[in-house]
Amino acid sequence: MNWESKLRTLLSAVNAGEFGDEWIGFVPEPPLQPNEISKLAGEAGITLPPSLFVLYTIANGMLIGVCFRVGGLGSTADEQLGMLNREFLLYIRESCESHVIELLFGSEGYTGDLLCLTAQGSVVTLDIRNPRTGTFVASSLDSFFDDVCLGSGYLSYDPRGDL
């Protein structure tokens, strides 16, 4: 099962009240239509990788897993993705010595480190106070969503449809 299917299953279960008041580490923003995604990304001056585009059709940003915050597009998510890149991308690109950073797409909630997509397509975190060296998180956005955010230990999937 790929991350998109896992996320849709999780979203359906949350919307159906499967978890009641239990905290499961998942707070999604409402999804966007593809034309809205393209428009908002263009207005923010951001070229979205395909995996983020797909994510926004499922959830327009989210808090998930071990407190990862993936920024959304548009007013429902305070234009977090656009703001992150407008305010910090140039500084991060000039400061980071270990990776070429293409996009900032969120943060890690415990440390406040930025989630970054590199030119090679991998995901790293960077401490905004000292962004010289990135910490490797995943080999791709797909791997980040599938293995890190929705991997073993976060969800247990039963093929009969139960979480």
Running along the chain, 163 residues long, what does each successive block of 10 average in pLDDT? 92 89 85 94 92 96 84 69 91 97 92 94 95 96 93 57 47
Separation of alpha carbons 11 and 62, rounded Å: 11
pTM: 0.88
Domains by residue range for the chain, with CATH? 3-149 (3.40.1580.10)
